[in-house]
Structure 1
Amino acid sequence: MRKLVVLLLLFGTIAHSQTQGFAKSSDGTPIFYRTFGSGKPILIINGGPGMNSNGFEALAKKLGEHNLTIIYDQRATGKSKLEKPSEKNISMDLMVDDIEQLRQKLGFDSWIVLGHSFGGMLASYYTSLHPEKVEKLILSSSGGIDLELLNHRDLVQKNLDKTYRDSLAYWDKKIRKGDTTYVTKLGRARALAPAYVVNPKFYAMLAKRLSQSDRALNTLVWLDMNRMHFDCSEKLKTFTKPVLILQGKRDIIPAELAERAHKVLQNSRVVLMENCSHYGWLDAENVYFSEIGNFLKP
């Protein structure tokens, strides 16, 4: 009996094991990563741009119960240090190279890729350039396969009531005047949180996450996407592997972007989740994980 208990404890530890390390990009940038669980490899690309992967640890652990999940800090975020981020070392092509170097470091011939928000845009671009390396693709509240999102700039405002809109305007004004203190960043994030998640119990957690965004880095990435006229649609037309597109019906990302991707991706399926905004695993946990679980079945 004692042996059985020890074995159960051992296997429980293995099932939820975590490893971490660094891959090195082609330009020498260290890319910090963490893995959870065991099984089929799933790369999770977080949103932003300009955020580390810490906010995706819970998602990685949940999906890591039956798979091997990988999260990583995108260049110039978290532990993936970059001394002086600039237009020379922040680009979508370099970020795709980071992913490829990570795949090679971990020794996978191919993997499943899940991209959330901006991470969905990066996942789409990676897939368009390395389709043979992607077994399945999950687009979670993705920013889209092109720059159509820029034509919907007022979506956050539409998801906020007047009280939160006024609060956001107040904090934005302080930031424009040069106030970049943590208190101001957190105040702005607290005003934004209700646009991103429906359930109020997640407001505080999400506000803390949003307050950590690097706005200068965010700007550099968007400048590059504008420079390159970001559009994956032509190359993705020939991608025939399974694609799951998940989005909230109250998302800050318009549903038409999901439909736009669906029309391009031949073997795709769209799921619009009820009472759900931008974070499906928070607002619609059961539906979100059930859809992904079914999608991952052989």
Structure 2
Amino acid sequence: MRELYPPIEPYNQEMLQVSNLHRISYEESGNPEGKSVVVLHGGPGGGSQPFYRQYFNPNQWRIVVFDQRGSGKSTPHAELQENTTWDLVSDIEKLRLHLGIEQWVVFGGSWGSTLSLAYSQTHPERCRGLILRGIFMLRQKELRWFYQEGASYIFPDAWEHYIKPIPEAERDDFISAYYQRLTSPDPKIRQVAARAWSVWEASTSRLLQDPNLMQKFSESDFAEAFARIECHYFINKGFFESEDQLLRNIDRIRHIPGVIVQGRYDVVCPMISAWELHQVWSESEFVVVADSGHSITEPGIRSALIEVTDKFASFE
């Protein structure tokens, strides 16, 4: 079982103006002369974490981590205007050009896997490899499973807290009901909804519940960005032309080395999505972690990802 690399500090931290409205926070760590990797966090709206750096050998990798629009240290906080999948794809390219990187490996889990696929299919010539975890493609069956009916059967105790802010009459469409509250002009209404939405995900993302994770997701600043931006993307169906867009466009990335790491007992992003992606992208390596749920911090997923990043670091 592989452990994280030791903690490191960034050698560069900056803000990049990507539109008249948005500035994104980014950092670089590891070896400035190493192989470049960009880390795409989850959510959307989840923000990056310092421990992301520790999934890469710092002697071999130039590690680029950034907060997507409205999340983490990026500004304005929790902003929904000019915040779409294609805005984020454009931001990744702006960041690559700003840093003078010709090609990089793209590393993303959960929503980060969605964005990784969208970016790589738009700019395949800029991708040296794809390392994807906990596959999510923002299709209606995936959204219904987690936010309407399905995961509720496995976590009925946590589900009670999720549905509490929504009156009975509106429970036939929780995403729409939450969207109304998360975009309310009343900050108290937004805060109650944001906490319930965010804690639901934290309650279900690990094989064994982690009270510390649930506490972090309940903090008001994190919860507002996470819940508002997620719900905004979900109500808009990911801003995709069709819900199978990422599967239909797989030919664009078929030549790019790719690995899919998936927890067998992932309740947030069930394994069927990873399986369906692998079926159309047979060139990808498919790694099923038998004793893991959704989170990047699950021991089995952590170990599998570090094995993959070490292997990719050795590729010419």
Range of TM-score over shorter length: 0.7 to 0.9
Match of 1:265 among 271, 278, 281: 281
Which region of structure 1 is more displaced relative to structure 2, 143-152 or 118-127? 143-152
Aligned to 1:77: 71
Percent identical among aligned pairs is 20
SS at match of 2:269: coil
* 1:256–1:40 distance in 2 versus 1, CA, 3 Å: same
Aligned to 2:216: 208
* 1:41–1:205 distance in 2 versus 1, CA, 3 Å: same
1:203 CA displacement: 3.0
Aligned to 2:108: 115
Match of 2:256 among 241, 244, 247: 241
* 1:188–1:109 distance in 2 versus 1, CA, 3 Å: closer
The list of structure 1 runs, each at least 4 consecutive aligned residues, that deviate by more than 4 angstroms after superposition, is 145-148, 175-192
Number of paired residues?
281
* 1:172–1:67 distance in 2 versus 1, CA, 3 Å: farther
Q: Is the Cα contact below 8 Å between 1:281 and 1:289 reproduced in 2? A: no
Superposed, 1:74-153 pairs within 5 Å as 74-82=68-76, 85-86=79-80, 89-144=82-137, 148-153=141-146
Deviations 1:26-51, CA, capped at 9 Å, x for gaps: 55632210122112111111111122
* 1:216–1:52 distance in 2 versus 1, CA, 3 Å: same
1:182 CA displacement: 6.0
Q: Is the Cα contact below 8 Å between 1:50 and 1:218 reproduced in 2? A: yes
Q: Is the Cα contact below 8 Å between 2:165 and 2:192 reproduced in 1? A: no
Aligned to 2:3: none
Match of 1:232 among 246, 253, 276: 246
* 1:225–1:264 distance in 2 versus 1, CA, 3 Å: same
Q: Give the counterpart letter for 1:48 in structure 2.
A: G
Unaligned 5+ segments in structure 2 are 1-5, 168-177
Q: Give the counterpart letter for 2:158 in structure 1.
A: Y
SS at match of 1:232: helix
Tell me the TM-score normalised to structure 1 length.
0.80
Q: Give the counterpart letter for 2:284 in structure 1.
A: S
Deviations 1:53-100, CA, capped at 9 Å, x for gaps: 2xx32022332534221111111223321389445x121111111110
Q: Give the counterpart letter for 2:217 in structure 1.
A: R
Q: Give the counterpart letter for 1:156 in structure 2.
A: A
Structure with the bigger RCO (C-alpha within 8 Å, sep 6+) is 2
Aligned-residue Cα RMSD (Å) equals 3.2
